[in-house]
Amino acid sequence: MPNSADRRPILLDFEKPLAELEARITQVRELAEENEVDLSDQIALLEARAVELRKEIFSSLTPGQRLQVARHPRRPSTLDYIQAISDEWMELHGDRGGHDDPAVVGGVGRINGRPVVMLGQQKGRNTKDNIRRNFGQASPSGYRKAIRLMEHADRFSMPILTFIDTPAAWAGLEAEQFGQGEAIAYNLREMFGFEVPIICSVIGEGGSGGALAIGVGERLLMFEHAVYSVAPPETCATILWRDSTKSAQAAEALKITAPDLKELGIADEVLPEPIGGAHNHPLEAAETLKTAILRNLAELDQLTPQQRRELRYQKFRSIGVFTEAGMPTHV
């Protein structure tokens, strides 16, 4: 789990007023110590204002700003959450076809003593690590590794927990040559047929079929500042307006935020984040996620395998609405 105590803060544009106030608090505290003056009341007022300002900023984020939070370099990753919520964990590698994509991680573990299979996309912590993990953009071998682990889970009656955090699947020429579309389609088909419970959690950015390839489940949980969309806003802006700088406008139109998707019936539950985002208090965010997973898992345990498959089917069958002659119609 990332620890920012010994690192310089990474500020997003809309956090600058808060950073200025916190710098002022530090300055007042240092002056008070240097001059041996008691300014504790003034400092307490400034600290209270900083708390309120942080609440104000993060309670009124635009979709574009939420996207920035979802992409924050220090936002907890799949491995961070797995290690924080599991009692024990063993990572497994390889697609059994000669490849092991580091953009997808997964393995077996226990949560509250119960065996589960956990997997998800993994972004890097720095430039070098991001290059190694291809910025969380999986290749066909990554999705084949994922389905291998899920088939293992279904064979041994272990629930499947997936963690979604990718801008999209890798769109390189080699990805197409090695069957990116087929790998994603195969995962979608197979996940609909598994008998064990499947809980999918969007922990950061969920983009395009690369996210959906591990996103078929009875329950979709989303963190408050996570995003989930048919395409990254930059890609959408390029397609619609031939201008990637209009990504904020695209983010607004795409309805990518957790509250929007909850209202549309795509997300089943929105998980609150610590004030300032999950990266501000990662262990608190991990505890929130663990609690939600265990609660939903207990509910899904009450269903038969057939009922779980039907719930999965109906969930995705109801997604997508178009309007014809003023009447809403489900696809």
Domain containing residue 23: 13-60
Distance CA 222, CA 289 (A): 9
DSSP 257: B
| Structural domain contains residue 7 | no
> Are 118 and 222 found together in one domain?
yes
Among 60, 87, 115, the domain boundary falls at: 60
> Are 43 and 177 found together in one domain?
no
Distance CA 276, CA 56 (A): 10
| Structural domain contains residue 331 | no
Residue 273 β-bridge partners:
none
> Are 48 and 71 found together in one domain?
no
Distance CA 106, CA 41 (A): 50
> Are 73 and 183 found together in one domain?
yes
Domain count, the chain: 2
Alpha carbons within 13 angstroms on the beta-carbon side of residue 54 total 16
pLDDT band at 133 (very low <50, low <70, confident <90, very high): very high
> Are 55 and 75 found together in one domain?
no
> Are 188 and 40 found together in one domain?
no
> Are 111 and 78 found together in one domain?
yes
Distance CA 262, CA 233 (A): 19
> Are 38 and 166 found together in one domain?
no
| Structural domain contains residue 223 | yes
| Structural domain contains residue 182 | yes
Distance CA 221, CA 231 (A): 19
The whole-number pLDDT of residue 195 equals 96
Which CATH number goes with the domain that contains 284? 3.90.226.10
Distance CA 285, CA 1 (A): 11
| Closest to 148 measured CA to CA, from 181, 197, 220, 99 | 99
| Structural domain contains residue 4 | no
Is 148 a residue whose pLDDT tops 50?
yes
Is 10 a residue whose pLDDT tops 90?
no
| Structural domain contains residue 330 | no
Instruction: Locate the DSSP E strands across the chain.
Output: 88-91, 104-111, 114-121, 160-166, 198-207, 219-223, 227-229, 269-271, 321-324, 327-330
> Are 45 and 139 found together in one domain?
no
Tens digit of pLDDT for each residue in 115-126? Answer: 999 999 999 988
Cβ atoms of 192 and 215 closer than 8 Å = no
| Structural domain contains residue 282 | yes
> Are 188 and 310 found together in one domain?
yes
| Structural domain contains residue 6 | no
Whether this prediction's pTM lies above 0.85 is answered by yes
| End-to-end C-alpha distance for the chain, whole angstroms | 41
Instruction: Locate the DSSP E strands across 31-144.
Output: 88-91, 104-111, 114-121
> Are 212 and 78 found together in one domain?
yes
Q: CA separation (Å) from 309 to 66, 100, 141, 197, 312?
A: 33, 30, 26, 9, 5
Is 207 a residue whose pLDDT tops 70?
yes
> Are 33 and 116 found together in one domain?
no
pLDDT band at 25 (very low <50, low <70, confident <90, very high): confident
pLDDT band at 132 (very low <50, low <70, confident <90, very high): very high
